């Protein structure tokens, strides 16, 4: 290694708008995650286990049409939630923790990138990866079921496809803020991954125990909240005893405080606190 | 795609400051990091020196808009560091002191990624990354993960990511940290070559010889105040007329000789070591008077040479005076 006697040359290209630069982070996260054989393996295995059989079964068996109930039931399956939790733990674990460990946060924030742009880029990258599991398979199932239906009410089926799109997009977004929050708490990605999984697991456990006193305590459990959200999105009756206001509060608590916390962490780290 | 910063003032000569801070105050709770700091940074290489905790990093973060001062203003090429922080950051390259590289990436990946974050398109970022990596002297190593690099290679990669978007202003925090003597020389050469391309390069370093070697101007910060700032040559020429005299003789003769010197010249320091007295004095005239007085007092002058002042002495004197 020695110095090449070339001179410093200026760059005279045009810059992109600073408000769009979060996309650079998002595409980097997306490519990096898909290079991980573990993430890729889980995406394939998860898709096959949760929706693979249903796609094949629905395509070859006769059915009248696509119904909200069948999609809500399909997406409300426990295995679907567990795989989402594992994926969120794996995908989000190093998104912020690795930048904290390597101190590379300063490289991002010394460029024309606001903390919200940095977070948006990281979150969008995670959502893009997660959507391969949460959006693609349910949509394939819904479209395949509609394409092979025996009935002629395609309009009803198409409206269920739209509901499926909303429900699957919601599944993608719902758990990522908690994953990012845990990732911003530690500079070790292993701790972040285990911490994220255990957080969801403990919330499920506590929700399950407390629900024996009052059904609304189940709203501590993120998977329960997600299931009830599906019922709202698909327009089917929510299980009795659940307060709609408390459901909205639970959703807010799982999205807003984690997002604010991770934003505060990034701002604080950016100024060296 | 838009071009930003087209209306940014572009100082044409070294006398026009690129960074101007006026009465800047930054506090962390009860701790005052910058205390009514005012300074001007011109084009070329400028040394930013000061003891630990003097406020150097806070100053850099304030210019980058990472910290909002409680009082005062910072202008970068006429742009305000608070309201125009995004425009300013596009004009600035920052090489932090500590490890900050993403170790799982290769240097070429990291530099092009940072180029993308600085607003370069994919088509521009990759060829430009190779260009700057060539410039800093990272050869085939650029395809290896950064985690496997030596300290010197990491410093080069840090410099490459700072210059990939061709910033008008560069902040280099301890650029030669941990480098071997040859690597250090090469890094200083790189900095000089960058500074010669009409850029402002602010070099923060504890190695004052490095600053003395490559910088035209220097700013000494202590206690959040810029206690000294100006042209290095002017600062070092404070030694003009200063001479270091070494003499030997009987104690009474030496005493009488010193009394005579004190009456005629401005004495800076007097020290004695194993019977030899060393006097630093100011003498704007000839040396005959000194030799005549020594001869009359019975003192033997061993040496009488112009005294050279170093940046280190300027620094130590300024910091001591500043803390009084």
Mind listing the pLDDT tens digit for each residue in B32-48? 999 999 999 988 999 99
Write out chain B residues lying below 8 Å of A272, CB-based. 57, 61
In this complex, do A111 and B118 lie within 8 Å of one another by their Cβ atoms? yes
Position A255 in a domain: yes
**Does residue B276 share a domain with residue B163?**
no
Position B4 in a domain: no
A9 shares contact with chain B (CB less than 8 Å): yes
Q: Which of A13, A32, A100, A109 to mutate to test the interface with B (most CBs of B within 10 A)?
A: A13
Which has the higher per-residue pLDDT, B232 or B72? Answer: B72
Write out chain A residues lying below 8 Å of B172, CB-based. none
Query: Taking the complete model, does pTM exceed 0.95, yes or no?
Result: no
- What residue in A sits closest to B101 (Cα-Cα)? A104
> What average pLDDT does range B22-33 have in this prediction?
91
In this complex, do A3 and B86 lie within 8 Å of one another by their Cβ atoms? no
Q: For residue A5, what pLDDT band results from cuts at 50, 70 and 90? A: low
| Chain B: closest CA distance from residue A106 (Å) | 7
**Does residue B259 share a domain with residue B186?**
no
How many residues make up chain B in this entry? 324
Position A183 in a domain: yes
B120 shares contact with chain A (CB less than 8 Å): yes
pLDDT score for A259: 96
Helix (H, G, I), strand (E, B) or coil at B54: coil
Position B7 in a domain: no
In this complex, do A15 and B116 lie within 8 Å of one another by their Cβ atoms? no
Which has the higher per-residue pLDDT, B235 or B192? Answer: B192
Q: Which of B119, B146, B150 to mutate to test the interface with A (most CBs of A within 10 A)?
A: B119
Round to whole Å and give the CA distance between B14 and B18: 9
pLDDT score for B10: 47
Q: Could you tell me which residues come within 8 angstroms of residue B28 by beta carbon, excluding any fewer than 6 positions away?
A: none
Sheet order of strands, B276-282 included = B266-273, B276-282, B242-248, B300-306
Q: In the predicted model, what is the mean pLDDT of chain A?
A: 91
Q: For residue B5, what pLDDT band results from cuts at 50, 70 and 90? A: very low
pLDDT score for B1: 38
**End of a domain among B209, B230, B251?**
B230
Q: For residue B285, what pLDDT band results from cuts at 50, 70 and 90? A: confident
Position A1 in a domain: no
In this complex, do B116 and A24 lie within 8 Å of one another by their Cβ atoms? yes
**Does residue B205 share a domain with residue B133?**
yes
**Does residue B162 share a domain with residue B101?**
yes
**Does residue B249 share a domain with residue B224?**
no
Write out chain B residues lying below 8 Å of A114, CB-based. 86
B82 shares contact with chain A (CB less than 8 Å): no
Q: Is the pLDDT of residue A169 over 70?
A: yes
In this complex, do B119 and A112 lie within 8 Å of one another by their Cβ atoms? yes
Position B3 in a domain: no
- What residue in B sits closest to A100 (Cα-Cα)? B100
pLDDT score for B4: 42
Position A9 in a domain: no
Tens of pLDDT, residue by residue over A87-127, are 999 999 999 999 999 999 999 999 999 999 999 999 999 99
Buried b (16+ CB within 10 A) or exposed e, B94-107: bbbbeebbbbebbb
Q: For residue B238, what pLDDT band results from cuts at 50, 70 and 90? A: low
Position A32 in a domain: yes
The partner residues of B221 in beta bridges, in order of sequence, read B226
**Does residue B34 share a domain with residue B173?**
yes
For B262, the domain range is 240-323
Among A247, A68, A246, CA closest to A145: A68
Position B172 in a domain: yes
Q: What is the CA radius of gyration of chain B?
A: 25
Number of structural domains (chain B) is 2
Among A235, A203, A195, A238, CA closest to A219: A203
Tens of pLDDT, residue by residue over B172-214, are 999 998 899 999 999 999 999 999 888 999 999 888 889 988 9
pLDDT score for B6: 40
In this complex, do A4 and B94 lie within 8 Å of one another by their Cβ atoms? no
Which has the higher per-residue pLDDT, B311 or A260? Answer: A260
Q: Is the pLDDT of residue B317 over 80?
A: no
> What average pLDDT does range B304-324 have in this prediction?
77
- What residue in A sits closest to B122 (Cα-Cα)? A24
pLDDT score for B80: 92
Position A182 in a domain: yes
How many CB atoms within 10 Å of residue B259? 12
**End of a domain among B230, B265, B281?**
B230
In this complex, do A4 and B103 lie within 8 Å of one another by their Cβ atoms? no
| Chain A: closest CA distance from residue B262 (Å) | 52
Helix (H, G, I), strand (E, B) or coil at A240: coil
> What average pLDDT does range B91-119 have in this prediction?
93
Report the percent of chain B where pLDDT is more than 70.
Answer: 94
**Does residue B201 share a domain with residue B302?**
no
In this complex, do A10 and B98 lie within 8 Å of one another by their Cβ atoms? no
Say which CATH number the domain at B53 has.
3.40.50.300
Q: Is the pLDDT of residue A196 over 50?
A: yes
> What average pLDDT does range A63-77 have in this prediction?
89
Round to whole Å and give the CA distance between B314 and A244: 72
For A208, the domain range is 21-270
Helix (H, G, I), strand (E, B) or coil at B306: strand
Of A10, A106, A113, the CB nearest to B117: A113
Burial class (CB within 10 angstroms; exposed 0-12, middle 13-18, buried 19+) of B271: exposed
> What average pLDDT does range B15-43 have in this prediction?
89
Q: Which of B106, B109, B118, B125 to mutate to test the interface with A (most CBs of A within 10 A)?
A: B118
Q: For residue A160, what pLDDT band results from cuts at 50, 70 and 90? A: very high
pLDDT score for A2: 52
How many CB atoms within 10 Å of residue B310? 13
**Does residue B300 share a domain with residue B183?**
no
B189 shares contact with chain A (CB less than 8 Å): yes
Q: Is the pLDDT of residue A207 over 70?
A: yes
Q: Is the pLDDT of residue B164 over 60?
A: yes
Q: Choose the weakest-confidence range: A9-13, B111-115, B235-239, B283-287.
A: B235-239
Q: In the predicted model, what is the mean pLDDT of chain B?
A: 87
Q: Choose the weakest-confidence range: A175-189, B207-221, B280-294.
A: B280-294
Angstrom CA distances, A165 to A17, A74, A132, A204, B297, stand at 31, 14, 13, 25, 103
**Does residue B217 share a domain with residue B114?**
yes
> What average pLDDT does range B8-35 have in this prediction?
79
**Does residue B288 share a domain with residue B220?**
no
Report the percent of chain A where pLDDT is more than 90.
Answer: 75
In this complex, do B135 and A4 lie within 8 Å of one another by their Cβ atoms? yes
How many CB atoms within 10 Å of residue B274? 5
Of A9, A109, A112, the CB nearest to B66: A109
In this complex, do A3 and B96 lie within 8 Å of one another by their Cβ atoms? no
Tens of pLDDT, residue by residue over B50-102, are 888 888 888 998 998 888 899 999 999 999 998 998 999 999 999 998 889 99
Measured over the CA atoms of residue B178, residue B179, residue B184 and residue B189, the dihedral's sign is negative
Number of structural domains (chain A) is 1
| Chain B: closest CA distance from residue A102 (Å) | 5
H or E, element range at B23: strand B19-28
Say which CATH number the domain at B261 has.
3.30.70.80
Q: Is the pLDDT of residue A62 over 90?
A: no
B134 shares contact with chain A (CB less than 8 Å): yes
**End of a domain among B177, B196, B230?**
B230
Which has the higher per-residue pLDDT, B8 or B116? Answer: B116
pLDDT score for B231: 87
Q: Taking every pair of C-alpha atoms in chain A, what is the biggest distance, in angstroms? A: 77
- Size of the A and B interface in Cβ pairs below 8 Å: 129
**Does residue B318 share a domain with residue B200?**
no
């Amino acid at each position: 290694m020695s110095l090449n006697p070339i001179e410093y040359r200026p760059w005279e290209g045009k810059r992109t708008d600073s408000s769009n630069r979060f996309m650079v982070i998002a595409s980097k996260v997306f490519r990096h995650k898909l290079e991980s054989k573990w993430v890729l393996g889980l995406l394939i295995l998860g898709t096959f286990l949760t929706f693979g059989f249903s796609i094949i079964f629905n395509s070859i068996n006769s059915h009248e049409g696509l119904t909200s109930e069948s999609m809500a039931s399909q997406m409300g399956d426990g295995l679907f939630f567990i795989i989402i939790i594992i994926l969120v733990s794996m995908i989000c674990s190093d998104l912020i923790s690795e930048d904290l460990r390597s101190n590379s946060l300063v490289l991002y924030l010394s460029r024309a990138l606001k903390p919200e742009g940095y977070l948006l880029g990281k979150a969008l990258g995670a959502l893009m990866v997660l959507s391969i599991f949460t959006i693609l398979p349910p949509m394939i199932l819904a479209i395949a079921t509609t394409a092979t239906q025996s009935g002629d009410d395609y309009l009803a089926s198409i409206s269920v496809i739209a509901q499926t799109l909303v429900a699957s997009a919601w599944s993608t977004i719902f758990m990522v803020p908690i994953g990012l929050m845990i990732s911003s708490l530690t500079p070790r990605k292993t701790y972040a991954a285990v911490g994220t999984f255990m957080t969801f697991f403990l919330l499920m456990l506590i929700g399950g125990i407390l629900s024996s006193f009052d059904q609304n305590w189940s709203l501590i459990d993120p998977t329960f909240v997600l299931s009830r959200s599906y019922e709202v999105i698909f327009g089917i009756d929510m299980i009795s005893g659940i307060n709609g206001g408390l459901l909205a509060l639970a959703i807010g608590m799982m999205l807003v405080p984690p997002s604010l916390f991770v934003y505060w962490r990034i701002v604080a780290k950016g100024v060296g606190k | 795609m838009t071009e930003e910063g087209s209306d940014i003032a572009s100082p044409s000569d070294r006398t026009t400051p690129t960074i101007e801070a006026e009465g800047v105050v930054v506090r962390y709770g009860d701790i005052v990091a910058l205390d009514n700091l005012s300074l001007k940074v011109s084009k070329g290489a400028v040394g930013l020196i000061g003891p630990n905790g003097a406020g150097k990093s806070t100053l850099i973060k304030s210019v980058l808009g990472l910290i909002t001062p409680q009082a005062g203003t910072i202008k970068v090429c006429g742009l305000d560091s608070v309201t125009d922080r995004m425009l300013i950051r596009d004009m600035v390259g920052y090489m932090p002191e500590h490890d900050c590289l993403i170790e799982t990436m290769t240097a070429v990946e990291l530099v092009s990624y940072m180029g993308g974050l600085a607003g370069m398109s994919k088509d521009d970022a990759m060829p430009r990354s190779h260009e700057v990596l060539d410039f800093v002297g990272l050869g085939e190593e650029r395809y290896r993960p950064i985690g496997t690099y030596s300290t010197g290679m990491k410093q080069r990669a840090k410099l490459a990511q700072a210059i990939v978007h061709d910033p008008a202003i560069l902040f280099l925090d301890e650029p030669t940290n941990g480098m071997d003597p040859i690597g250090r020389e090469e890094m200083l050469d790189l900095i000089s070559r960058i500074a010669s391309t009409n850029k402002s390069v602010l070099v923060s370093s504890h190695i004052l010889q490095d600053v003395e070697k490559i910088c035209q101007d220097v700013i000494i910060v202590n206690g959040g105040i810029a206690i000294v700032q100006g042209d290095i040559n002017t600062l070092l020429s404070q030694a003009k007329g200063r001479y270091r005299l070494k003499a030997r003789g009987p104690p009474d003769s030496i005493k009488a000789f010193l009394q005579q010197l004190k009456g005629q010249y401005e004495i800076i320091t007097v020290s004695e070591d194993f019977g030899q007295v060393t006097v630093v004095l100011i003498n704007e005239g000839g040396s005959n008077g000194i030799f005549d007085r020594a001869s009359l007092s019975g003192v033997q002058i061993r040496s009488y040479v112009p005294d050279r002042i170093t940046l280190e002495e300027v620094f130590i004197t300024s910091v001591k005076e500043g803390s009084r």
